[in-house]
Structure 1
Amino acid sequence: MTTFTIEFDFNSADQKAVLSALQAQGYNLLAYKGAVGPNQLTAGVPTWFSVPFGTMFGLVDIDYEPKYKLYVTTQGNIAADTTIQMQSISTALSLGSAQTFNSDGSFVSGGVANVPADSLGLFNNRPAGTPPLTVGLAGLVNTPSGGAQYLPFCAFTLNPQGSIMMKPLETILLVAAQQNLKSGNVQASVSAPGCTFAFSANIVEYYLEVLPSTYAITNQGGKPSVSPVSSGSTIGTIVNSGS
C-alpha cells in the first residue's frame, strides 16, 4: 500500500519566523479531500483534518494511506459549519467492495453489485419510510496532533433501501486559516489562500512551505508544483472535480 506524504520544513530561519507568527495568531492547517458520487452534500465539504500550527516544529510529515472506512450518521439537513458525527463506522475496506448497513447499526459484507475497482458501495437496509442517512468515506491520515485516524472527507444522502457507490479522489486542498475547525466540520468556501494538488503513482510526496505575510501555501523550490487557491473559492468545485 502506497503512503503519500505532505511535508513542511520549519528548520530554516525564514520558515521558523513564519511558524512563530502562525502559532502566535492561532492558525490551523485545514485539509479537504475529494470524492464523487450521487446526492453529495450541497452545503459544503467536511473538513478532513485540522492541525494546529502550535503542534508543529522542525520537519513535519503528514502521512496518508489510501485506506477507507464507511461511516453512517442520522444527521440530516446538514448546513455549513455543522460537524458530522460518525455514529457508525465500518472496518477498513478494500476498494471495489461493498457493505450493507442494517437498522441495528451493524455493517455486513455485500449488498451492492458491480462496484468499480476504484469505489466503495453501500446499501441502506433500513426499512422504507425511515429518514435518509448521511453516509460517506473516512480516510486514514497520520497527523502531528492526532496520530493515525480514519477521518471523514465526504458526505452523501442515502435513502432507505437504496444503494450508493462512492469514489475517493486524490485531490487535496490545504489552507492555513484562523479557523478552529474539527474534522467533519462542513465548509463551503476557502477561508484563506491555499493550494491544491493531487497524489498519484508518480508523485507520492509534496514538499510545501508557508509564505510570509499572506500565509498562503506553496511548494518548496524545485519540488512538485501545487496550484494556488484564492480565498472565497468553492471547496467542492476544487476537490470534487479531480480524477
Structure 2
Amino acid sequence: MTTFAMNFDFNSAPEMEVLEQLQKQGYYLLGFKGAEGPNQLTAGVPTWFSVPFGDIFGKVAIEYTPKYKLYVTTQRDIAANTTIEMEKTSGELSLGSAQTFNPSGGFVSGGVTGVPADSLGLFNNRPAGTPPLTVGLAGLVATPQGDKYLPFCAFTLNPQGSIVMKPLDNILLVAAQRSLKSGNVQASVSAPGCTFAFSASAIKYELQVLPSTYAISNRPGAASVNPVSSGSTIGTIINSPR
C-alpha cells in the first residue's frame, strides 16, 4: 500500500528563521482531507490533524497511508468550532467493505450491499425512533506526535439507515494561529493555505512556509500546489473530486 508524504525542511537559515517566528507566534500546521457521501455535515469539515510548529524542527514528514476506520458519535447539531469525539471506532477496514453498528455499541461485518471498491459502508442498526448518529471516517496519519487514526469527515445517519462514504485524496494545509484539536469543525480557511491531491503520479509533496504571509507553497521544482485564500470555504475546496 502506498504511503503519501507531505515534507518540510527547516534546515536552511532562512527557513529556520521562518520556523522561529511560527513558534514564537503560536502557529499550528492544520490539515484537512476530503470525502463524499450523503447528509454530510453542513457546519464545516473536521480538522484532520493539528501540529504545533513548536513540535517541528529540521526535516519533517507528515505521512498518510490510505487506511481507514469507521467512527460513531452521539453528538448532534454540530456547529462550527465543535470538536467531534469519536465515541466508538471500528477496526481497520478495507475499502469496498461495510459494517453494521449495533445498539450495544459494537461493529460487525456487513449490512450494506454494493459498496464501491473505493468506499466504505455503514448500517445503523439502532431501533427506529432513536436519535440519529454522527458517523464518519478516520484516516491513518503519521505526524511528529505519532501515528493515529484521526477523523476527517462527518455525516448524519438515521436509525435503520445506511450510508456509503468515499474518502478523497484532496488535502488542504494551513499554517494558522489556531490551537485546534483533531475533529474540530471548521467552515472556512483561517489563513492562506494550499490544496493538492495525492495520486499514483504524485505521492510526495515537498513544501515550504513562505516568510511574512506564512502561506504554504511547494518548494521550487517540486510538485505544484494550488494557493488558497483566507476565508475560502473548506468543504467546497476538498470535497470535490479532482
Give the TM-score of the pair, scaled to structure 2: 1.00
Equivalent position amino acid for 1:58 in 2:
G
3-state SS of 2:137 partner: strand
**1:4 maps to what in 2?**
4
- Which portions of structure 1, spanning 4 or more consecutive aligned residues, are displaced by more than 6 angstroms? none
3-state SS of 2:91 partner: coil
Give the TM-score of the pair, scaled to structure 1: 0.99
**1:220 maps to what in 2?**
219
**1:125 maps to what in 2?**
125
Equivalent position amino acid for 2:143 in 1:
T
3-state SS of 2:84 partner: coil
Q: Distance in 2 between matches of 1:207 and 1:73?
A: 36
**1:26 maps to what in 2?**
26
| TM-fit CA distance, 1:55 | 0.5
3-state SS of 1:192 partner: coil
Number of aligned residues: 242
Matched, 1:88 2:88: yes
**2:233 maps to what in 1?**
234
Equivalent position amino acid for 1:30 in 2:
L
Q: Distance in 2 between matches of 1:241 and 1:228?
A: 16
Q: Distance in 1 between matches of 2:93 and 2:106?
A: 15
Q: Deviations over 1:77-107 (max 9, x none)?
A: 0000000000000000000000000011100
**2:46 maps to what in 1?**
46
| TM-fit CA distance, 1:48 | 0.1
| TM-fit CA distance, 1:115 | 0.1
Q: Deviations over 1:183-230 (max 9, x none)?
A: 000000000000000000001000000000000000000000000000
3-state SS of 2:237 partner: helix
**1:205 maps to what in 2?**
204
Give identity over the alignment, percent.
76
CA RMSD of aligned residues (A): 0.4
Q: Deviations over 1:128-180 (max 9, x none)?
A: 00000000000000001x20000000000000000000000000000000000
Unaligned runs of 5+ in 1: none
Q: Distance in 2 between matches of 1:4 and 1:104?
A: 36
Unaligned runs of 5+ in 2: none
Equivalent position amino acid for 2:166 in 1:
K
Q: Distance in 2 between matches of 1:55 and 1:181?
A: 15
| TM-fit CA distance, 1:242 | 2.5
**1:148 maps to what in 2?**
147
Equivalent position amino acid for 2:73 in 1:
T
Q: Distance in 2 between matches of 1:15 and 1:218?
A: 13
